[in-house]
Structure 1
Amino acid sequence: MGQEYTAKSFKSGNSVAIRMPAGLGIEPDREWIAEWVDGELHLRAKAPVRRKIDVSGFAGKAPGIKLAPREDFDERPSSTAAREALRR
């Protein structure tokens, strides 16, 4: 096994916290899964969230591609009124 460290728990708000020694090389702002198993605390790094690609900047970049009309929302009443006013 590797180097052994001692850490002390302390009260932090309504939680109990344990500071992890820097010698363990733990990255800050990482999420962890904690389990209490047979009187032992087990910590596992939570898998990082996969980043999604924003494709909104690609619109109009490929010649010949026609975008499908958006049907996931109702049109604003002000837009409808403006279009009707232009028709008159």
Structure 2
Amino acid sequence: MTKEYRAKVFKSGNSLALRLPKALGITEGDDVVIAPHKDGSFSLWKESDSLSVLMGLYGAFSPGFMGRGRRDTDQEDYDWGDGDAGGRAA
């Protein structure tokens, strides 16, 4: 397991800020992605590492994930004739 860091949130102008330890390897000017989770936790990574993060998630799926394929879903026919973006065929 990796080392755990603790930090305090503070007010900076009209925003909230979080001081990150240098040991995390994030440098001034780096773009980061912050992903909130349903349980209230967050994940944070450098935007330049997004592909690595995505590929790391690949192994997180359960062995039977999509074992039966996507399966087709019922979809309504779309009326492309009148140019109306929301027009569905009856």
Please report the TM-score for the alignment, with normalisation by the length of structure 1: 0.47
Larger radius of gyration: 1
